[in-house]
């Protein structure tokens, strides 16, 4: 069988099962196995499977993920997300624009502990959308704002896709976290500006409701819990940025501190701990299956020499790094619209990595840029996962949610991505000085 026919069979297999709705991990693993079997035969396949699965699963960089997931699940089980919103609502003074800003800020903090854009968007849509409607925003704009805030999980440390990118490219994960700070802050400011420019109000205005002058006992408890969460984030990320602890140690410290603090505050019990551990294991296993499937698929690509052929085909672009980055950003954006963010990184980065190295592109800078482009894909049709999650949580047509969310994504693409390309120091200056 000719190599061209094998490539066509493998591509058809991948697209067919992806359109059938199979999980990305299953599609990648099946495609890789079929490709290796057709290309090299069963003898090589038997040797590759066991070795690749073992070394992928034992990668130290990936061991960080369960630690951060456990910390996130403990904070979620302890109700600290709801507490954050209560405090943000109180600080906003029950006014429209400040409450919208508080939703974006809480979305960033929630992204820092959840790592999933879809989960963050669904949580925020459930908590914040009704309150945003009450103060005067239209229903679709309130849900769209929740989707926008949830998408920040891709660009706020500890972003899971950044951890996976670092594991693939051997870029220090701590440096990637630090590099996200400047663009992340700029993105937040752009979203706040969009909130002021593109707001959509209900025709009937704000709904009447009581506005207590004094904080309730519940709100006072929420304030204490929120302060604990802020202190936890300061300890974890402050330790990373000052170089006192490594990224892996920070995950362990965060999970342990969250467990002890929430237990002392009587926010979690044995059942909550068991549920947090179970959810962390499930999500970690899902991500690990995606990573293993992507590794097997990447091994087929190595046998087929497809990356080398693509590098030869893209040789004119290698001589123009700016044009190459523009093309790759477009590819990542399109892939982010139809695939889970982790799958996008695992599927595309191994293929384009030789091109990036040949063009002399800073992998740290590119990783941060890629994270932002994938985050924008979470907000745009046809399969913007954050928009779908927020719309599903409120049982609202997703087509209407795409309209306000798309405006935010377009503004962020033009300003944040443009500024990062024109001024790479936004990403590289802080990591370079902290090294």
CA atoms within 13 A on the CB side of 261: 23
Structure confidence at residue 366 (pLDDT): 93
**What's 392-422 look like in SS3?**
HHHCCCHHHHHHHHHHHHHHHHHHHHHHHHH
Residue 320 lies in a domain: yes
DSSP 37-53: HHHH-HHHHHHHHHHHH
Q: Is residue 278 part of a domain?
A: yes
pLDDT at 57: 75
Cβ(339)–Cβ(380) below 8 Å:
no
Give CA–CA dist 68/247, Å, rounded: 10
Which stretches in the chain have pLDDT values below 70? 1, 81, 89, 92-94, 110-119, 204-222, 338, 382-383, 434-435
Q: Where are the alpha helices (DSSP H) in 265-384?
A: 270-304, 306-313, 315-318, 321-338, 341-359, 363-377
Residue 56 lies in a domain: no
**Which among 317, 326, 319, 336 is positioned nearest to 418, based on CA atoms?**
326
Q: What is the pTM of this model?
A: 0.79
* CA angle (142, 144, 145) in 5-degree steps: 65
Residue 156 belongs to a domain: yes
The number of distinct structural domains making up the chain is: 1
Q: What is the pLDDT of residues 133-190, one digit of tens each?
A: 888 888 889 888 888 888 887 777 777 788 888 888 888 888 888 888 888 889 889 9
Residue 308: inside a domain: yes
**What residue numbers bound the domain in which 144 lies?**
62-202+215-292+303-434
Q: Which two tokens stand for residue 295?
A: 């590794």
pLDDT of residue 56: 75
- Residue 422 covered by a domain: yes
CA-based nearest residue to 370, from 210, 86, 126, 180: 180
In a domain, 48, yes or no: no
Q: Which of 39, 85, 15, 121 is nearest to 339 (CA)?
A: 15
Q: 213 is written with which tokens? A: 């002058």
Decide if 340 is inside a domain: yes
Contact 27, 17 (CB under 8 A): yes
Q: Considering only CA atoms, which of 40, 28, 80, 27 is closest in space to residue 304?
A: 40
């Amino acid at each position: 069988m000719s190599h061209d026919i094998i490539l066509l069979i493998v591509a058809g297999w991948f697209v067919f099962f992806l359109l059938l709705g199979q999980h990305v991990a299953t599609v990648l693993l099946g495609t890789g196995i079929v490709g290796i079997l057709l290309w090299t035969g069963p003898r090589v396949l038997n040797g590759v499977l066991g070795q690749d699965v073992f070394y992928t699963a034992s990668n130290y960089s990936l061991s960080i993920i369960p630690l951060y997931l456990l910390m996130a699940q403990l904070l979620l089980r302890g109700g600290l997300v709801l507490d954050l919103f209560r405090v943000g609502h109180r600080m906003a003074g029950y006014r429209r624009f400040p409450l919208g800003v508080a939703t974006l800020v809480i979305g960033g903090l929630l992204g820092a502990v959840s790592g999933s854009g879809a989960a963050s968007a669904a949580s925020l849509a459930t908590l914040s959308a009704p309150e945003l409607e009450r103060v005067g925003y239209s229903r679709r704009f309130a849900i769209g704002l929740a989707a926008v805030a949830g998408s920040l999980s891709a660009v706020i440390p500890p972003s899971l896709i950044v951890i996976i990118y670092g594991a693939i490219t051997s870029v220090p994960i701590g440096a990637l976290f630090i590099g996200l700070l400047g663009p992340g802050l700029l993105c937040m400011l752009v979203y706040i500006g969009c909130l002021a420019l593109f707001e959509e109000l209900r025709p009937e205005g704000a709904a009447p409701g009581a506005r207590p002058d004094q904080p309730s006992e519940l709100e006072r408890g929420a304030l204490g819990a929120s302060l604990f969460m802020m202190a936890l984030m300061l300890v974890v990320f402050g330790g990373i940025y000052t170089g006192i602890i490594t990224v892996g140690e920070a995950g362990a410290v965060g999970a342990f501190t969250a467990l002890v603090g929430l237990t002392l505050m009587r926010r979690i019990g044995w059942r909550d701990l068991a549920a947090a551990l179970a959810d962390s294991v499930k999500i970690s296993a899902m991500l690990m299956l995606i990573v293993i499937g992507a590794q097997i698929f990447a091994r087929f690509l190595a046998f087929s020499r497809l990356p080398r052929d693509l590098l030869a085909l893209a040789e004119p672009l290698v001589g123009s790094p700016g044009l190459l980055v523009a093309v790759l950003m477009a590819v990542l954006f399109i892939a982010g619209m139809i695939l889970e963010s982790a799958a996008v990184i695992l599927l595309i980065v191994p293929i384009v990595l030789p091109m990036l190295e040949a063009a002399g592109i800073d992998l740290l800078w590119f990783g941060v840029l890629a994270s932002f482009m994938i985050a924008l894909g979470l907000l745009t049709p046809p399969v913007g996962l954050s928009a779908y999650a927020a719309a599903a949580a409120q049982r609202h047509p997703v087509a209407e949610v795409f309209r306000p969310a798309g405006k935010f994504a377009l503004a962020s693409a033009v300003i944040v991505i443009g500024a990062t390309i024109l001024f790479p120091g936004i990403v590289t200056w802080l990591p370079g000085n902290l090294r």
